[in-house]
Each structure stands twice: as C-alpha cells, then as structure tokens.
Chains A and B, each alone.
Chain A
Amino acid sequence: MDDHTQYPNQNIDDLSFEETYSLLTESIKQLEEGGLTLSEATQLYLSGISLANHASEMLSKAELQIKTLSQPELVDQNHDDED
C-alpha cells in the first residue's frame, strides 16, 4: 500500500478535516482487521501518524472565518484575544 492508494490525487495537506479524520479512522480499522504484510502495516502506520498530525494541526491553527452574505469575507482577528 503506498500514499497513492491512501489519498488518491491529493496531497495530505489538501485534505479537509473530515477527510483526514475519516482516513485516520480507516487506517486504524485496517490495522485492527489484520491480514496485512509488514510493509503494508508500516505504510498504514506512517500515513496514520501523518494524518493525525495534519488533523491536530488544523484544529489548533484554525481561526473562525466570518462572512456576512453579500459582504466580503473576514478572517476573525479576535481569536487570540478572546479565547
């Protein structure tokens, strides 16, 4: 199993949170189910770790984007002050 099979046509950085979360869950499921070669298991483990890092990074770096319809989008600037 290589990266290509894991995220077809996409770089891990382009994955949405939902996609990342779902692939991470799937990686664990496949490891649990077994029947993998050592090489496949290693690949799944490594890609799983990358997915987990990507997901947690997305969560910690996110800033709420606010847009009033028919007005330009704003990135919330008060994130650090108010949380």
Chain B
Amino acid sequence: MSVYSIAEITTFIKLHLENEPVLRNLSIKGEVSNATVSAAGHVYFTLKDTAAQIRCVMFRPQRNRHLVEAGVSLIAHGSISIYEARGDLQFYVEDVVSDGSGALAAELEALRSALEAEGLFEPSRKRSLPPFPRAIGVVTSVQGAVLHDIQNVLRRRYPLTKLRIAPTTVQGQDAVTGVLESIQKLNREPDIDVIIIARGGGSLEDLAAFNDERVVRAIHGSKTPIVSGIGHETDTTLSDMAADVRAPTPSAAAEVSVPSADNLLRQIIEMTYMLGSEFGAIVSQRSQSIQSARSQLESGKPQFTRLYQQIDDLLQVSFKSIKANYMFQVEAIHSLRSRLETLNPDHVLGRGYSVVTIESTGEVIKGHKQVTQGSNITATTHDGTIHAMVTKVSPVESSGL
C-alpha cells in the first residue's frame, strides 16, 4: 500500500472533484448562516438545511452579494472543490438568487409596510362587534373541517343567530376572486352583523389569497365588521391584520363573534333576582311609610280622645236638649188635648146640657125664630134622644143689659 503526503491526497481529491461534471456546475438551495466578509472583500458563509451544511465562498466581484444574509433562503450557483491549505470542502459561489419562498416573504413584507403606512391596520379603525348578532356570514370553503367547526361553535354558544355561508375556494388562482365575491355577497345581506373569514392552516403559499392586496382592501372596506380566523395560531396574514378582530383559528373566530347563551341565561336569572329585590325594596319602603303614618296617628291619639270626648259631650247636650224639647212638646200636646177635651160636646152634655135640633132637617136650634108652635123638635142629651112638639114660642124679654 502506498503512503501519500497530505498535499498529494488533497490534490488528488481536488482533481477528482473538479473533473466531476455535476460538481463543476451546480446550484444548491439552503439557508445562509455565518456570513462574514474578509478584508479583501470576499464573502464567506455556510449554506445549510435541516440535514447538512457546506462552506461557501464568494470571491470578488460577486453578483447579488447583498442577498447573502443570515437566515435568508437562497439558491447559490457555482462549483465544488477543496481548499487544500485547510482541507475544507468548499462551494465556490459565482451567483446567488433568492429562494422562491424567500422572495415571496420579501414581497409580502413590502406590501405589509405599504398598507400599514396607508393606515389599513390602524387599531383605531377597528370596530367592535355587536353583542347579539342576528346573523353571521362565513367566507370559507365548504370542503374540510373549518365550516363544520364554526357550525359546532355557533350551535353550542348562540344558536339564536343565523349562519349564512358564502362558499369559496380558499387556495389557488381562483381564491382571490372567490373571497372577494363572498365578502361582497355577505355585505349585501341585510341581517348579517358579523362576517367571519376562515381557512385552515397551510404554508405561506397556501395562504396567499389572504395576503393578496385586493382581499386585504376588501376586508378593510367591508361595511360589516370582519373577524378573521385564518390558519393556525402561528400564521398571521395581512387579512388578519386588516380584520376588525383577529382570532387565531376558525373555531376561535366563531367563539368571539357571538355571546355565550349559558352566560346570558345566568345574566337573565340575575336580572330576575334584581327585579325582585328592587321591587321588594320599593314595596318595603312603602310599607314602612304606611307604618310610620300609622305610628303618627297612634301618637296623636290623645287629641282624638279629647275630640271624641267633646263630641260625646256635645252629643249628650244635644240629646238632653232634644229630650227636653220632646218633653215640652209632650206637655204641650197633653195640655192641648185637655183643652180639646173640655170643648168636646159630649162632655158639655154630660154636665146637663142638650142639643136641640129641628127634627126634619137636623138643624141645631140656636134661636126661637127657627121654630113655631107645632114644630117637631129633637133634644139630644148625653144619654139619649127626646122627641117633642113645640107648644109655645116665647122670645126672651129684653133685660136691658
């Protein structure tokens, strides 16, 4: 077996590498780390992915040298050889371009800055959600679990609301148009108080429609407040930033859009208690007022007693007076009756007088001229009647009185 010097073997390797067509002209994709610039202006860095890494060098003059920054994904073009002095395998980079996703991220960042500067994400512009939404509009795909999750949350939390679905694709070239149309459609519905824009998780490319400027502007311009629930908690799209409320997931978007029926029921029970206690307090207050008035009356009782006494006295006086008057009247009547008694003709006859009448006419004879000799007359005494005939009529001779 031959023994080689280090120089010999590294030269051997170098020749082999440099004669290998694949290694003479290739592109490698990876993330930049450990980028340094030497005094001479050469750029040294490492390209790595999750499994491996390789040393890289860009000699002056370099193209797109500014792209070489730690953390950036890029595609480097060049050849592979060995640096004999250190025995390092090196990628001699002639040119770099941004990795596609890196470019997308940069573009997205540029758009974000522009829209932010325009005020589209301004917190002060965000509207609060109505407490009891009549209907919730949902912009999402009918495929997949998102819609099902939203339905479940609404059904559990606040089934009083109505769910209006504006289906759209949420990924691919038609997604932007679909999302825009759905937002417009839901804005035309009169009873929709909140719109949820939802999508399941995905890569930056998958979520592209929600980073599209037209969609972001439509969200910003929506008449109806918008809640976003796009992707997973770690995904933040420009749509999320423009929405009135950003929820981390579609289910969370449904949660924040409606009140909880359980909480509302508890509140209503509390309010029923409050009604009862307030009304009870009023009744109790009135009852105390009445009690107090009654006490006042009670405390004023002696005065009333005195008044009663006075009234009683007055009644007594009156009664006596009436009684006296009555007795007087009784006396008067009695006296009157006695006098009447004396005038009763029967009593006069009893004393020996009689009433004489003309028998034919019953006329009382008051003077001698009423009869002549032979006239039939009747004398009525107190105990009987005497029939007689006039035998003589003699006038009373004048006595000169």
Contacts and interface: CB of A to CB of B under 8 A. Distances in A.
A78 B152 CA distance: 10
Contacts of B154: 64
B164 A67 contact: yes
Interface of B: 131-132, 134, 142, 151-152, 154-156, 158-167, 185-186, 189, 261, 264-265, 268-269, 271-272, 274-276, 278-279, 282-283, 286
B268 A24 contact: yes
Given A52-B272, A60-B265, A79 B160 contact: no
A66 B276 CA distance: 38
A10 interface: no
A56 B275 contact: no
A62 B159 contact: yes
A55 B268 contact: yes
A38 B274 CA distance: 17
Contacts of B278: 28, 31-32, 45
A79 B159 CA distance: 9
Given A17-B160, A56-B268, A62-B160, A67 B165 contact: yes
A31 to B, nearest CB: 4
B275 A31 contact: yes
A38 B185 CA distance: 52
A14 interface: no
B163 A64 contact: yes
Nearest to B156: A83
Contact of A68 (B160, B167, B282): B167
Contacts of B152: 82
Nearest to B163: A66
A49 B272 contact: yes
B165 A28 contact: no
B166 A16 contact: no
B155 A27 contact: no
Nearest to B287: A38
A58 interface: yes
A82 B156 CA distance: 9
Sort A-B residue pairs by CB-CB distance and give the 8 closest, nearest first: A31-B278, A45-B279, A62-B159, A48-B275, A62-B160, A18-B132, A64-B159, A65-B162
Contacts of B159: 62-64, 76, 79
A34 interface: yes
Nearest to A30: B278
A1 interface: no
